Structure 1
Amino acid sequence: MKSLPDTRSLPAALSPALTLLLATATGLAVASIYYVQPLLGLLSEQFGVGGATIGLLPTLTQLGYGAAILLLSPLGDRFDRRRIIVAKSAALVAALAFAALAPGFGALCLASVVIGLTATLAQDLVPAAATLAPEAERGKRVGQVMTGLLLGILLSRVAAGSLAALAGWRAVYASAAVAVALLIPLLWRSLPRFVPAASGGYGALLASMAGLWMKHAPLRRAALAQGLLSVAFSAFWSTLALVLAGPEFGQGSAVAGAFGLAGAAGALAAPLAGGIADRRGPQAVIRVGALLVLAAFAVQALAPASLWLMVGVAVVFDLGVQAALVSHQSVIYSLDPASRSRLNAVLVSSMFVGMASGAALGSVLLASLGWRAVPALGAAAALGALVVARRR
């Protein structure tokens, strides 16, 4: 894969208004893959299918998202990123609108796949922000956009559940479609044209990701460390509702949904972590982030059961995970400016594998060993990430 000279004609700085627009678009894009989770009960009743079958909807959405990370996100290095962003936005609007109008379960399954594919718009917006940001402020600016992504993940379930209770599940998808549609003209008008940074065919573009993996040791460390932190992140969030419903806590789904607000508190610190990474270097922030995750889960595994302690754990470990993620992105985006979309695809793919593994392992451990095994898994994964982060 041949890299072209960087001949972009871009603004000298990423303005606060454009940063806010990118953060908002990123949050709305990634939220699209999580809206379905609190709607599963309503959808099961609507279409008359059982729990195992209705679980296909989030599964298909996640599979579509994971496939598109590898197959579509690298296109940002080969084509004008602005056109890709606008095209994916329009396709996401169409998929959400189709979901809102889905006449049957099969149609909603199809819509779920396409929503997952097009929601990777978020992974085009973050590299765009990294390209537009001044080098001295890249970590801070990427952190601000990542705050939008993280809030989209954490608050989407709360928003979808509340709106569905008032207006039904179709209103969730319809409102999401309208929100993304309103951003399309703003994105087209505000984003500059990105001259492609790489040449060659699609196959060579995909194959080059293996070359980037072999070439850049910092990319391998970032992918492995963040993947391990994602194991901890996903193990907690994927088992939270079941843990809270258990005899130790006896709480319902409303409390589980409200935990998203606790996670959002940690996510809001992402720009601060990015700014520290700019000033003092990302490696120190990565190590501190992994230590926070390790400490939070170790305390939860050993301390007496307490709802308020779990809230504190959610704030602290989310802060650690997001600080490490923003810093890892700062590291990989500096490796090869012409390959930022592919570098991001490798990092996010490792996170996807970590989250899938964390969800599976967390569920098995919860069922076989009890709820304290989940934070023990999180602590072990964080320790592994810390070891990787300390390697040179």
Structure 2
Amino acid sequence: MAMGNMAMGNGDTTSARRPSARWSLSDHRILVLAITAGAVAANLYYGQTLLVDMAQGLDVGESTIGAIVASTQLSYAVGLVLLVPLGDVADRRRLVSILLAATMVVLAGVATAPNAAVLLVASIMLGLVNVTPQIALPLAVHLSRPADRGRVAGQIMTGLLTGILLSRTVAGIIGGQFGWRTMYGCAAVWTAVLLVACRRALPISPKTTDWAYRDLVANTFLLAVRTRGLRRPMLYGFLAFAVLTGFWTTLPARLSGAPFERGPTTVGLIALIGVGGALVAPRAGRIADMGRGRLVTLCGLLMIASSFCVLAAGRSSLVVLALGVVLLDVGYSAANSANQQRIFASAGETAARLNTIYVVTLFAGGTLGTNAALAIWQQWGWTGVCLFGGLLASAGAAAATTDFDFRGRRVRGDGPTPSEMPTRREQSVN
């Protein structure tokens, strides 16, 4: 998924900043970072599965809890912009430790929140500080030998994606059996364990750029305005993630009513079935590398739109619902992989900042999708939610058809081209 490719830019500015040849990023250290990335990323998704139970426990409406869940996504986008650049100008081991400690405290706050107002504050703070995975990936790559960096990045990404995909399953099982507070309490405990593990496994990591923090942040916004090749992936990502989060936020409410009358455990099991969709991502990426990225994006968006036809038909069948989930996850994985390939194809040293913009756009879409889907659910039920998802995905597919001719040939470049990229002088915003 998009979130894992953040913050890999800027590189070493001097050879002295590279890891010592005597220091080795061993397999167990890579494993620590991979587990950390996956476990921390999962924190953003527990609330989607536990929404109904949280609403009942705090005696508020489902739309209120849905808005709180959406606030986490929005504050996460803010954290990406404001905190991830610190990884380039500070000791990353110390930064990871501070962020994990803050995440642990905030998770405990969520678990013990006495009312919706406190839960809202804690959820906003959770999104803001929950950016450790976006620090862990570039840290692992930076500490690796050049010949190993692709392999190491892939291993961290595997951990991150596994955490995201299994988050709903874990939340469904633990939350369904022991309650939503226990789920967040467990998350706080294993975050504390990861804090200790990271402190022991990681070396001091000096800054990797001579740029000032404010310049890195400002340059991110500059690239968002100037990079024309980023606009299409941003649009497709915004729409696809809005649809995805809208679906997963309303699914618990759908399953809790007639004829299913099921709890979070069932949501978790359905999410587990959908994990297979992630297996499409590597294949979709390889096809995109062959110059067919726009076609992959179109096919992915069409699959998402089609999945809502299946989901609408599955109003009384768990088997049909599960089939729709597989189609949705496969379509999203394909479209997102093609989007990222398009961004990284020729981005050069700006790749991290371009991907930051992309992921921020995703979570802006997620915030919209969560709130809109919940409002639609309250007024028009499951049919309205499926119509909403299908229309957004269809709009994205319609826009994608203008990217290529029907023989599959490219009409425009597949990513930010060198002519679109600001020069070093233009990038400086002192």
Q: Deviations along 1:102-143, whole A, 9 cap, x unmatched?
A: 455544433222211111222223444555678888777545
Asked if the contact 1:73/1:341 (under 8 Å) is kept, the reply is no
Change (3 A) 1:134 1:183: same
Which residue pairs with 1:312 in the alignment? Answer: 323
Change (3 A) 1:14 1:337: farther
Distance 2:128 2:151 in 1: 28
Asked if the contact 2:51/2:252 (under 8 Å) is kept, the reply is no
Which residue pairs with 1:252 in the alignment? Answer: 262
Asked if the contact 2:67/2:370 (under 8 Å) is kept, the reply is no
Unaligned 5+ segments in structure 2 are 1-9, 405-411, 414-430
Which residue pairs with 2:223 in the alignment? Answer: 212
Structure 2 counterpart of 1:230, from 219, 241, 244: 241
Q: Deviations along 1:147-201, whole A, 9 cap, x unmatched?
A: 4333333432332343234434332222111212222233344445544343344
Structure 2 counterpart of 1:157, from 168, 175, 192: 168
**Cα deviation, residue 38, structure 1:** 4.1
Change (3 A) 1:60 1:225: closer
Cα RMSD between the aligned structures?
Answer: 3.9
1:376 aligns with 2:384: no
Change (3 A) 1:113 1:304: closer
Which residue pairs with 2:305 in the alignment? Answer: 297
**Cα deviation, residue 337, structure 1:** 6.2
Which residue pairs with 2:181 in the alignment? Answer: 170
Which residue pairs with 1:288 in the alignment? Answer: 296
Aligned to 1:36, what secondary structure does the other structure show?
helix
Aligned to 2:46, what secondary structure does the other structure show?
coil
Q: Deviations along 1:62-115, whole A, 9 cap, x unmatched?
A: 332232122222222332333322221121112223333445554443322221
* Correspondence 1:80-95 to 2 at 5 A: 80-95=91-106
Aligned to 2:99, what secondary structure does the other structure show?
helix
* Correspondence 1:255-274 to 2 at 5 A: 255-271=266-282, 273=284
Change (3 A) 1:4 1:95: same
Identical positions, percent: 33
User: How many residues are treated as equivalent by the alignment?
Assistant: 387
**Matched AA of 1:252:** R
Aligned to 1:76, what secondary structure does the other structure show?
helix
Q: Deviations along 1:273-315, whole A, 9 cap, x unmatched?
A: 55x37xx727535632541341353364279824434423322
Structure 1 counterpart of 2:89, from 78, 84, 109: 78
Asked if the contact 2:278/2:329 (under 8 Å) is kept, the reply is yes
1:9 aligns with 2:23: no
Asked if the contact 1:77/1:198 (under 8 Å) is kept, the reply is yes
Aligned to 1:198, what secondary structure does the other structure show?
coil
**Cα deviation, residue 267, structure 1:** 2.2
Which residue pairs with 1:32 in the alignment? Answer: 43
Change (3 A) 1:207 1:218: same
* Correspondence 1:339-350 to 2 at 5 A: 339=350, 341-350=352-361
Deviating more after overlay: 324-333 vs 57-66: 324-333
Aligned to 1:370, what secondary structure does the other structure show?
helix
Distance 2:334 2:20 in 1: 27
Calculate the TM-score normalised by the size of structure 2.
0.73
Aligned to 2:331, what secondary structure does the other structure show?
helix
Which residue pairs with 1:239 in the alignment? Answer: 250
Deviating more after overlay: 31-40 vs 324-333: 324-333
